[in-house]
Structure 1
Amino acid sequence: MSKQEPAASSTSVSSPSAASSSAQVTAMNDAGLAEADFARLSDVFARHLSTASGGMAFAVYRGGEPVVRLYGGTTSRCQAGQQPSAAWTPETLAVLFSGTKGLVATVAAILVDQGRLDVRAPVTEYWPEFSAGGKENVRVFHLLSHSVGLPYVDPEPEGEWGFLDNAANATALAAQVPLWIPGEKVAYHASTYGNLMNEVFLRVTGKSAGMLISELLATPLGLDVWLGLPEEQDDRVAATFKADDYAISTFLKDPERRKIVDRMYRAMLLTEKDVFNSVEMRRAEMAGGGAIGSADAMASLYSRIVDPGSGLVSASTLRDATQTWSEGLDTINDRPLRFGLGYELDDPIGTYGPVRPAFGHSGAGGGLHGAWPERGFGFSFLTNEMLAENKDSRVKDLLAVLADIDL
């Protein structure tokens, strides 16, 4: 039994909207939603699942307890006419991609509460070597808010799996010259966010991001989430795959900046190598996008972050972490961005649905994990089928229904 196994009082149903056996939905109305509201949410989930080639889960929690949970589809790609693989269940884990960054942001907030990390301090206070390349005035908040100007590693570490080597990447970044004066622009740091914060954590605590996620979040809260997956959990992980028309940076049209994007992503998403299903990635602590977990774990976590009674993050630290530290059009990708201290914040394109304020972090291919603090909800949409952002409405449709439900 997983740590998020359904309670005995949960209701399990199959949506009548499911178009095929692979689209059967296990729906759990844990908080006793009105039947019509529960059906609306289940039907939206089933509608998207009926056109899917994989699986997905959507979980909503409040105060660490489930409100509603939906699971369906398969744990590997299953196209028309193929025999379905294993069904997606509450036990299923999947790669969080950049949803990992929200875990790192939460660790940073806890270290602030513990008095061990000052986000306004110079990075060199913790990591003296980082002063090279004119970075002596860079603050920790520049790393967390994607405004430091180090969106890729130059030179890249050598070796087939060098991009997973945290120490080698941190060494290169410490010597690197930023692309702009830190703080003057914002651009998404897809993988270097993790390299930078992992090194700061090591310097502050002597422990890696993966160790701290286990120590401060997963173990005390009983969450199915890992950065550095143990071998005994491998059988639970859904196989990630890209839709045939999957694309990255769909807001970007400029061919010169596309070259920067290609450099940022080529080792992970623009390669023939099946990186995110590899043992190497599962064991590595890729703090920018390599965590593996369940939808229940992420929804539960965010619901506790915004629960004043949980004691996980203090109210003052959470206010600081979820105020705007950087915003504007991504100087590389042309996508509207708004960041707190490691958390994405609600933005002009409605990434977090129609409710504001909201925060959390999205992941490549469609995953989204976050909270609506004034409603006390934590939510998570997790999938193994990666869709391009401009063609993916799965989680937005679910959040639109959730926003309309009176709870």
Structure 2
Amino acid sequence: MTVLGSVAPGFDAVRDAFADVLADARGGASFAVVRDGRAVVDLWGGLADPASAVPWRDDTLCVLFSGTKGIVATVVAALDVLDPDAPVREVWPGFTADATIGHVLAHTAGLPYVDGEHDMLDNAACAALLAEQRPLWTPGTRVAYHALTYGHLVAELLRRATGRSVGTLVRETLAEPFGLDLHLGTPEYLDGRMARLLRAPGYAISTVLDDPERRKIVERMYAGLLDSDERMNSAAYRRAELAAGSATGTARSMARLYDLLGHGQVVPPDPLARATRTWSEGVDAINDRPLRFGLGYELEDPIGTYGPTSRSAGAFGHSGAGGGRHGAWPQAGLGFSFVTNELRSENADGRADRLLEALSASL
């Protein structure tokens, strides 16, 4: 498949790595790097819709899955209206768990799934159920990725603190002021730009997990989303303002967002420093995967999610289901983003790793 776009002088290795990614693709992808406000890598190619052979274009939008969490973490830090040390019930009367806002943002609240019949697209209903739910552990004592409930909880906290929906806050705090092509609650007029998601053969979730009992919990957490092509490609999913995973955007805008953050824009220095220091770390109590979180952001970890250790010191951002990777390398003064519509299992996906290694070698 043809590589489209451009790279600045000295970044040819990144173009070559992206060409390798496309050569092995059933779908499409884009990779962007913005450094000091300048796009030094802006590449795309492949198919936005393999079934109808629609090509990936420079403005193709794609569901970002958990890359959404980094966007929402930025909104939380920019508004600075949620005290991470405050009990959740201080903002949300009737919330029964003895959890702080920091526990929610750092994935230690012990509420990794909604117990009871629910529609994952209904933020308010899921939040109401979570408010009455007993945590699986004492909040703050264990870390485990709250794949979808992070979004229900944070959206409700923001709604109560500001009186506005999380999608409105993304638009008013990030997209409009900084001209970012990012959307939470994607409007109908953008449907024609959407990439169609597809799962690679053998796609699986939580590939490091062997325990059958905890596997049942993981399946419960993701049921009806990553196991359903229909749901993940539905207009209803894109319209839902799911703060954990339904944002759409371009690699160019995600890379620009993280470059802005790394240069002290969008979020003032003190709130950003607080949001990007370690608030939780350890092996996921459910998934067995090493984790390290700030206040909603993923941080550099022992398995190299954010690239070579020579570059990833101080890195923050958020990955997304199926291969997306978005973040900042503050020491290198850049933001990066890899977006794809072809979901691959973590243990069989080296695309973003290859691109970040080439980027490191180019600096």
Query: Paired residue for 1:118?
Result: 83
Instruction: Say whether residues 1:323 and 2:277 are aligned partners.
Output: yes
Distance 2:244 2:277 in 1: 21
293, 296, 301: which one pairs with 1:347? 301
Matches within 5 A, 1:6-405: 23-29=1-7, 32-34=8-10, 38-77=11-50, 85-112=53-80, 116-130=81-95, 132=96, 135=97, 137-157=98-118, 162-271=119-228, 274-308=230-264, 310=265, 312-354=266-308, 355=311, 356-405=313-362
Report if the CA contact (8 A) 2:327-2:336 is conserved. yes
Distance 1:195 1:49 in 2: 35
Q: Deviations over 1:237-288 (max 9, x none)?
A: 00001001111000100001001001001121124x5111101111111111
Q: Deviations over 1:345-387 (max 9, x none)?
A: 0111100101222110000000011000111110000000000
Q: Which amino acid aligns with 1:291?
A: A
Distance 1:24 1:226 in 2: 28
Q: Which amino acid aligns with 1:298?
A: M
RMSD across aligned C-alpha pairs, in angstroms?
Answer: 1.1
Q: Which amino acid aligns with 1:76?
A: D
Paired residue secondary structure (1:42): helix
Q: Which amino acid aligns with 1:163?
A: M
Distance 2:36 2:58 in 1: 19
Report if the CA contact (8 A) 1:57-1:382 is conserved. yes
- 1:73 Cα shift? 0.3
Q: Which amino acid aligns with 1:67?
A: V
Q: Which amino acid aligns with 1:174?
A: A
- Long gaps (5+) in structure 2: none
Distance 2:275 2:238 in 1: 28
- TM-score, length of structure 2 as denominator length: 0.97
Q: Which amino acid aligns with 2:43?
A: L
- 1:27 Cα shift? 3.2
Q: Which amino acid aligns with 1:138?
A: A
- Long gaps (5+) in structure 1: 1-22, 79-83
Distance 2:117 2:329 in 1: 38
Count of residue pairs the alignment pairs up: 360
Distance 1:152 1:267 in 2: 13
Q: Which amino acid aligns with 2:239?
A: R
Q: Which consecutive aligned stretches of 4+ in structure 1 deviate over 6 angstroms post-superposition?
A: none
- 1:117 Cα shift? 2.1
Q: Which amino acid aligns with 2:227?
A: L
- TM-score, length of structure 1 as denominator length: 0.87
Report if the CA contact (8 A) 1:27-1:42 is conserved. no
Report if the CA contact (8 A) 1:339-1:345 is conserved. yes
Report if the CA contact (8 A) 1:62-1:304 is conserved. no
Q: Which amino acid aligns with 2:4?
A: T
Report if the CA contact (8 A) 2:13-2:362 is conserved. no
Paired residue secondary structure (1:56): strand
Q: Which amino acid aligns with 2:73?
A: A
Percent identical among aligned pairs is 54
Distance 1:70 1:307 in 2: 23
Report if the CA contact (8 A) 1:100-1:289 is conserved. yes
- State the structure with bigger RCO (CA 8 A, min sep 6), 1 or 2: 2
